[in-house]
Each structure stands twice: as structure tokens, then as C-alpha cells.
Chains A and B, each alone.
Chain A
């Protein structure tokens, strides 16, 4: 453990970028450099990604680094703490931010107020990184709200249409109730323990009466579960994700809902000891309910972005299930369950990465189709892949990866989660729930293939007859192709990222005394 101010770099860069954008915009207009703001946004995201490398090096050698942003000593000072799990998430957030900003250069060209768009995108990513770096719960809440406010505004960005306005209001109301419920949990926790610092809480919690703490656990799962879109708190998602501009859909589905998962997991694993509190069973059950309900709903959709939105809920189910298996194993088998927990949580963290890249790819690819064909209806989009071969091929790779077809990246993470579930053959709860997950995975693979067949193999419908991807679309096609390459490369050579995810899982477990 060590202290270092470099933790603040990515957050400071992104927030400064969001403010400076308002200066860059008039400068660009005065100098008649049309794309100055886009170039600036890409540079800021690149810089934040670069600054993460320095923190990564530090975390690798030190294990955990902390920083107090205040003249006061803790617990008064605003505290930041970065471990392997935080840095893993931050990498995913910034990487997707960079790809989406490249994508937006061309996709958002026809819109006005792009300086505000990029400012909001930067403060969204800054909030996300802040959530993953926060060392105390109230600090986490502040960054959480920075993230949420930016995403409400971004969903409503095309405010001249009715759909984004409705979806954004629904998202705002539900998500705010969620974050207020989590804040309620924090206020109870603060009253009981006298601090909200994560490290201090971890040492104080075992000395407290356990029953009021279950109330806190329930409120945390329900509160952050709204943003993570765990069924039955998911109702906002299928409206909000399709209504947003495609780049923002990719951000919301790719990373914002993962921040919800991160917050749940960070609070439950770092503060409450999974061996002492039996929340693992609840997480496993939430996981399979989320998976099963969202899978059925996804099948009923005709709107391509709605289908992808439901598929995001399905994947949140896998991730929650993976963490649930980890907590369950620690609770039931004690130290004997440590290796199962490490495997399951490594799979879940790996799946966070795979789904962020995979779903980002699918939403951006769908954005390309919609941009060219002008419709979101799957029936009218038939055969669009033949007209747009690069996007179509990448989109298919994304679908296959999320379907879990070997050797693409999604196969590995699902394999680890399912393997962990099947470790203890005598445990009927684990066997039954894992079997439900396997059935769902097969079911999901079937409709991913159905979607792929529709978009790629059918004869092109009249709406897509004039779709094409020329040089003009380079900035839209490039991120999609990069993401499909990442999917293939990670699928063929997953060892580095497995190692990273494993360290992240172990650091998460290490804090609970493992």
C-alpha cells in the first residue's frame, strides 16, 4: 500500500477536458477548424487512457494505492483507493470512451451542440472512473451522481424528438430512486459504524449487530441494482438505451450498467464479509432471474436496439451470477470455497470486459446500419450486412462472441463462470442454478444466430438497398472493426487478460481477509 497523487490524473484530465471543451469550441469556430472539438475529445480520452498506464504500473508493484484529497486526515478527507479491480474497470471505461468519441466524429456530424455532447461524454467517463477509484462510500455517491446526471442528459440529447425525452425522464426517475435508496443505506451504515471509509468499514462491520446490516445489504443491491438493471429493476433500460444516440447506447450498455455492478460488488465484497453474510444466494437467484426474464423478452423484440438492450440485461445476469457463485462458495464452504470463488469472480470480471467490448461493438454496428438505412426495424434491416460488409462482418463477430462461440472472447468468460458453478457436484443448489444458466446460454446463442442470419444472409430489403460504407464513414467503421479485432485477439490469446482479471478477483477477495 502506498499513497500517490497520480490516482487523480485520469479524473482531473477528463473533468478539465469537459470544461475546456467550452473554450475549444469557439476557438475552433474562429479558426474555421471544423473538427477541432472532436480531435480535442479524442486527445483527452487518449490522454486519460495513457495516464491509467502509470497508475497500473504503481498498482502492480504496490497492490493498492490510496490518496486523500484534503488537508485533513481521514476520515474527514475525501479518500481514493485503487486496487486491481478498480484499475481494470477504469481501463474498460476509458477505452470505450475513446472508441465512442472516434465514432461520434461522423455519426453525430448532423447535430448541433456537439461541444456539450463531448463535455457530457467526458464527465460521464470521469464519473465512471471516479466511482471505481472512490475510497469512501460518500465519495462514490458523488461520482455516481456525476455519472448519472451526464447519462440522463445524454439520453435526452436529441431533445427535439419525443422518444429521448420520455426515455430520459423514465431513466432519471427510476435511477434517482435507486441511487437515493443506496444513499439511504449509506446513511444507516454511517449511523451504525460512524464512518463511510471502505477500509475502516471493513474492520468495524464484524463488531456490529448483523441484523440491521441485512437491511443495508438489501438497500444496496436494490439501489445500485437499478443502474445495473437487475430484473426486476430493469424497466428503464429497454427504453433509455435505444432512445440515446448510438454512441451513447454503447456507453450505457457497455459501461454505465457495469458501474452499477461494480458498486454492488465493491460494497458487498469489500465491506461485508461474504463468509459471514449470506448474500451469495440472493445474488445467484437475482442472476438467474435476470438471465431468464431478459432472454425471453429479447426474443420478442423487433427493434434492433431494443433487442440489444435486453441482451445487455442478460449479460448483467451472467456477471451477477458469477459474483453470486463466488460469495455463495465463500459463505457455504469457508476457506475451502476460496478457489471456486476466485474462479467464478475472475470469470465475472472477464465477462465485464467482454461484454463491454462486445456490446459496444454491437451498438456501434447497429448505429452504422441505422445511419445508412434510417430504420431500427429488424424486418426492414434484413440483408443490410451484404451492403455493408465491414460493419456486417464485425457485427457478426460481436454476436458470435456474445453467443459464446469458441474461440471468441465471450466463450472463455462464460466457460469460467459455468465451470465454477459445476465445481461442487454434491451441491444441488449450485448444480440446478448453473444448469439454468447453461440452458439460457444455449437459448441466447440461438437468437443471436437468428439475428445474424437475418442481417447477413437474407436478400437485402428495399430500405437497405442504398446502404453503403464509403470512405466517408471511416470514423464510424474504424471503432467497430477495432472492437471486433479485440474480440478475436482476446479469444485466441486470452492469457494476459485472464491474469489481470484473476488479480482483480483476488484483490477483491483479499480485502475480506482471504
Chain B
């Protein structure tokens, strides 16, 4: 199955929407775990964007795959550290509600 410019638009648009959904989720949700999930959605959007461009030009595919794999690994590291901090916050406050964290003003 060959892909066209229309497919590219679809994928790139989905990537942009994922980015916005992630930011929106982090802006409106006050749960620390959901904030971390928001970060992961943004990462997924960007990884998709790398791959979307390979539809237009298959020469890009080799490096794009390499970028995406490493980006997934880095995303996992960030999520691990973020969740570690969430656990510590839970031990202090008994809650993962950002509103309980007095100094945090977003």
C-alpha cells in the first residue's frame, strides 16, 4: 500500500493534536499521575511526527526510526523519575493532588 501526501497530513495533524491534548490534560488535571500521562501523550505525538515525514520521503526512514527508539527510551527515563517523585510526594501528603502541594502555582 503506498501512502500519499493526504496520509502525511493525517499523521502530522494527529501528532499535533496529541501534543495539544497532552498540554491540555496537564493544564486542567490536578492529579500528579495524570500530569505524567500528559507528558507521555506529548512524547507519543512527537514520535509520530518524526515518522509522519517518512511518508513523504522514504530516505528519512532509517534515521527517523533511530530517533524514535531513542526518544522512547528517554521518555521512559523521564516517566520513571517523575513517578518516583510522585511516590515521594504521596509519602509526604498522602495524596497525589497537585492542589495539596502548597507552593506549586502553575
Report which of A138, A173, A184, A239 forms a contact with B82, defined as CB distance below 8 A.
Answer: A173
Report yes or no: A190 in contact with B64, Cβ–Cβ below 8 A.
Answer: yes
A180/B49 in contact, CB under 8 A: no
- Identify which of A141, A156, A166, A187 contacts B49 (C-beta below 8 A): A187
We find that the number of chain A residues with CB closer than 8 angstroms to chain B is 35
B86 to A176, Cβ gap below 8 A? no
Known pairs A149-B81, A152-B81, A180-B43; A169 contacts B67 (CB<8 A): no
Quick one: which of A153, A163, A194, A196 contacts B81, CB cutoff 8 A? Answer: A153
> A148 → chain B, closest Cβ, in Å?
8
- Give B57-99 as 1s and 0s: 1 = Cβ < 8 Å from A's Cβ atoms: 1011011101100110010011001100110110011000000
For A124-163 the 0/1 string (1 means CB < 8 A from B) is 0000000000000010011001000100110010010011
Given contacts A145-B77, A180-B39, contact A190 B50 (CB under 8 A): yes
Given contacts A166-B89, A173-B35, contact A190 B60 (CB under 8 A): yes
Q: Contacts A180-B42, A191-B56, A235-B106 given; indicate if A168 touches B74 (C-beta within 8 A).
A: no
B45 neighbours in A (Cβ, 8 Å) = 184
> A177 within 8 Å of B by Cβ?
yes
Whether B35 contacts A187 by the Cβ 8 Å rule is: no
User: Nearest Cβ distance between residue B26 and chain A, in whole angstroms?
Assistant: 7
Q: Is A256 an interface residue (CB 8 A)?
A: no
Task: State the CA gap A404–B23 with chains docked (Å).
Answer: 41
Which of B53, B59, B74 is close to A187, meaning CB atoms less than 8 Å apart?
Answer: B53
Nearest CB of A to B106, in Å: 7
For the residues of A in contact with B, the DSSP-based class is: helix
For chain B, what secondary structure do more than half of its interface residues adopt (helix, strand, loop), or is it mixed? helix
Nearest-CB residue, chain A, relative to B57:
A194
In the complex, whether A100 has a CB less than 8 A from a CB of chain B is no
Question: B residues within 8 A CB of A165?
Answer: 85, 88-89, 92
Interface membership of A75, Cβ < 8 A: yes
Please provide the chain A residues from 207 to 239 with a CB less than 8 Å away from any CB of chain B in the complex: 235, 239
Among the listed A75, A76, A168, which residue makes an inter-chain contact with B85, where contact means beta carbons less than 8 Å apart? A168
A420 within 8 A of B: no
Specify which of B26, B35, B42, B67 is in contact with A190 (CB 8 Å cutoff). Answer: B67
CA of A142 to CA of B45, assembled, Å: 18
Q: Tell me the bound Cα distance from A184 to B71 in angstroms.
A: 11
Task: Report if A41 contacts B (CB, 8 A).
Answer: no
Q: How far is the CB of A263 from chain B (nearest CB, A)?
A: 16
CA distance A149 to B76 in the complex (A): 11
Q: A166-B104, A191-B56 are in contact. Are A172 and B81 (CB under 8 A)?
A: yes
Q: Cα distance A190–B37 when bound, in Å?
A: 26
Residues in B with CB closer than 8 Å to A239 are: 103-104
B92: A residues at CB distance < 8 A: 162, 165
Whether the pair A167, B103 counts as a contact (CB closer than 8 A) is yes
B17 part of interface (Cβ distance < 8 Å): no
Q: Known contacts A177-B26, A191-B52: does B103 contact A156 (CB below 8 Å)?
A: no
Residue-wise, chain A 165-208 has the 8 Å CB interface mask toward B (1 for contact) of 11111101100110010011001101100111000000000000
B63: chain A residues within 8 A (beta carbon):
75-76, 190, 195-196
In the complex, residue of chain A having the shortest beta-carbon distance to the beta carbon of B8? A191
Nearest opposing residue in chain B for A163, CB measure: B103
Name the residue of chain B whose CB is nearest to the CB of A171: B85
Contacts of A177 in B (CB 8 A): 23, 26, 39, 42
User: How far is it, in angstroms, between the C-alpha of A168 and the C-alpha of B89 when the chains are bound?
Assistant: 10
Contact A145–B78 (Cβ < 8 Å): yes
Q: Nearest A residue to B51 by beta-carbon distance?
A: A187
Known: A138-B70, A169-B101. 9 other contacts (CB 8 A): A142-B70, A149-B78, A165-B89, A167-B103, A169-B86, A172-B78, A180-B42, A191-B53, A195-B63
Interface residues of A (CB under 8 A from B): 75-76, 138, 141-142, 145, 149, 152-153, 156, 159, 162-163, 165-170, 172-173, 176-177, 180, 183-184, 187-188, 190-191, 194-196, 235, 239
Q: Can you name 30 A-B residue pairings with CB atoms under 8 Å?
A: A75-B63, A76-B62, A76-B66, A142-B74, A149-B81, A152-B85, A156-B85, A159-B88, A166-B89, A166-B101, A166-B102, A169-B86, A169-B89, A169-B101, A170-B104, A172-B78, A172-B81, A172-B82, A172-B85, A173-B35, A173-B82, A177-B23, A180-B39, A183-B71, A184-B19, A187-B46, A187-B49, A196-B63, A235-B105, A239-B104
